[in-house]
Amino acid sequence: METGARIDYALSLFGVPIRWRTRISCWEPNIRFVDEQESGPFAFWRHTHEFTACGDDCTVVSDLVEYREPLGVLGAMAHRVFVAKILAKIFDYRCDQTIAFLQPQK
Protein backbone atom coordinates (compact mmCIF):
# COMPACT_ATOMS: atom_id res chain seq x y z
CA MET A 1 0.00 0.00 0.00
CA GLU A 2 1.15 3.53 -0.68
CA THR A 3 -0.23 7.01 -1.17
CA GLY A 4 -2.02 7.13 -4.50
CA ALA A 5 -2.84 3.41 -4.62
CA ARG A 6 -6.31 2.66 -5.97
CA ILE A 7 -8.59 -0.13 -4.82
CA ASP A 8 -11.51 -1.35 -6.94
CA TYR A 9 -14.44 -3.11 -5.27
CA ALA A 10 -17.28 -5.07 -6.85
CA LEU A 11 -20.18 -5.25 -4.41
CA SER A 12 -23.80 -6.31 -4.54
CA LEU A 13 -26.55 -4.60 -2.56
CA PHE A 14 -29.96 -6.28 -2.70
CA GLY A 15 -28.81 -7.98 -5.90
CA VAL A 16 -27.75 -4.71 -7.54
CA PRO A 17 -24.08 -4.67 -8.60
CA ILE A 18 -22.09 -1.70 -7.32
CA ARG A 19 -18.64 -0.64 -8.47
CA TRP A 20 -16.56 1.37 -6.03
CA ARG A 21 -13.08 2.83 -6.37
CA THR A 22 -11.09 4.35 -3.53
CA ARG A 23 -7.68 5.99 -3.50
CA ILE A 24 -5.23 5.96 -0.61
CA SER A 25 -4.81 9.66 0.07
CA CYS A 26 -2.62 9.29 3.16
CA TRP A 27 -0.24 6.48 4.08
CA GLU A 28 1.72 6.68 7.33
CA PRO A 29 2.82 3.11 8.16
CA ASN A 30 1.96 1.98 11.71
CA ILE A 31 0.09 5.25 12.33
CA ARG A 32 -2.76 5.77 9.85
CA PHE A 33 -4.01 5.52 6.33
CA VAL A 34 -6.93 7.19 4.61
CA ASP A 35 -8.99 5.94 1.71
CA GLU A 36 -11.24 8.30 -0.22
CA GLN A 37 -13.88 7.43 -2.77
CA GLU A 38 -13.09 8.35 -6.35
CA SER A 39 -16.25 6.74 -7.70
CA GLY A 40 -18.97 4.75 -6.04
CA PRO A 41 -22.24 4.81 -4.16
CA PHE A 42 -21.67 7.87 -1.97
CA ALA A 43 -21.57 11.57 -2.81
CA PHE A 44 -18.53 11.71 -0.49
CA TRP A 45 -16.57 9.04 1.43
CA ARG A 46 -13.39 9.35 3.52
CA HIS A 47 -12.28 6.55 5.83
CA THR A 48 -9.41 7.15 8.24
CA HIS A 49 -7.84 4.06 9.84
CA GLU A 50 -5.66 4.86 12.86
CA PHE A 51 -3.36 2.66 14.93
CA THR A 52 -2.26 3.78 18.40
CA ALA A 53 0.32 1.82 20.37
CA CYS A 54 -0.63 1.23 23.99
CA GLY A 55 2.31 -0.44 25.65
CA ASP A 56 4.50 -3.15 24.17
CA ASP A 57 1.81 -5.59 23.07
CA CYS A 58 -1.35 -3.59 22.55
CA THR A 59 -2.59 -1.45 19.66
CA VAL A 60 -5.87 0.42 19.48
CA VAL A 61 -7.38 0.37 16.00
CA SER A 62 -9.89 3.13 15.29
CA ASP A 63 -11.91 4.23 12.31
CA LEU A 64 -13.35 7.58 11.39
CA VAL A 65 -15.77 7.39 8.49
CA GLU A 66 -17.03 10.61 6.94
CA TYR A 67 -19.61 10.28 4.20
CA ARG A 68 -22.55 11.91 2.50
CA GLU A 69 -25.31 10.09 0.66
CA PRO A 70 -26.18 11.01 -2.91
CA LEU A 71 -29.63 12.14 -4.06
CA GLY A 72 -30.32 14.77 -1.38
CA VAL A 73 -33.54 14.04 0.54
CA LEU A 74 -33.90 10.58 -1.01
CA GLY A 75 -30.39 9.68 0.08
CA ALA A 76 -31.09 10.98 3.60
CA MET A 77 -34.22 8.84 3.76
CA ALA A 78 -32.31 5.78 2.53
CA HIS A 79 -29.73 6.43 5.24
CA ARG A 80 -32.36 6.37 7.95
CA VAL A 81 -34.10 3.30 6.53
CA PHE A 82 -31.16 1.02 5.72
CA VAL A 83 -27.74 2.59 4.93
CA ALA A 84 -26.83 3.31 8.57
CA LYS A 85 -27.75 -0.27 9.54
CA ILE A 86 -25.74 -1.78 6.70
CA LEU A 87 -22.67 0.29 7.55
CA ALA A 88 -22.96 -0.68 11.23
CA LYS A 89 -23.11 -4.38 10.26
CA ILE A 90 -20.09 -4.01 7.97
CA PHE A 91 -17.96 -2.40 10.69
CA ASP A 92 -19.17 -4.85 13.37
CA TYR A 93 -18.13 -7.72 11.08
CA ARG A 94 -14.78 -6.06 10.39
CA CYS A 95 -14.18 -5.65 14.14
CA ASP A 96 -15.01 -9.32 14.80
CA GLN A 97 -12.73 -10.46 11.97
CA THR A 98 -9.85 -8.26 13.16
CA ILE A 99 -10.13 -9.65 16.69
CA ALA A 100 -10.27 -13.24 15.38
CA PHE A 101 -7.24 -12.65 13.14
CA LEU A 102 -5.15 -11.17 15.96
CA GLN A 103 -5.98 -13.74 18.65
CA PRO A 104 -3.23 -16.25 19.33
CA GLN A 105 -3.80 -19.61 17.66
CA LYS A 106 -4.26 -22.56 19.99
pLDDT tens for the chain, 106 residues long, are 999 999 999 988 888 899 999 999 999 999 999 999 999 999 999 999 999 999 888 889 999 999 999 999 998 998 899 989 989 998 999 899 988 988 877 6
Q: How far apart are CA 56 and CA 33, in angstroms?
A: 22
Strand partners, 45: 67
Q: How far apart are CA 97 and CA 55, in angstroms?
A: 23
Q: Around Cβ 22, how many Cβ atoms within 10 Å?
A: 20
Question: Looking at residue 105, what is its pLDDT?
Answer: 73
- Return the SS3 of 86: helix
Is the dihedral angle over the CA atoms 69, 2, 99, 53 positive or is it negative? negative
- Which H or E run contains 70? none
Question: Looking at residue 106, what is its pLDDT?
Answer: 67
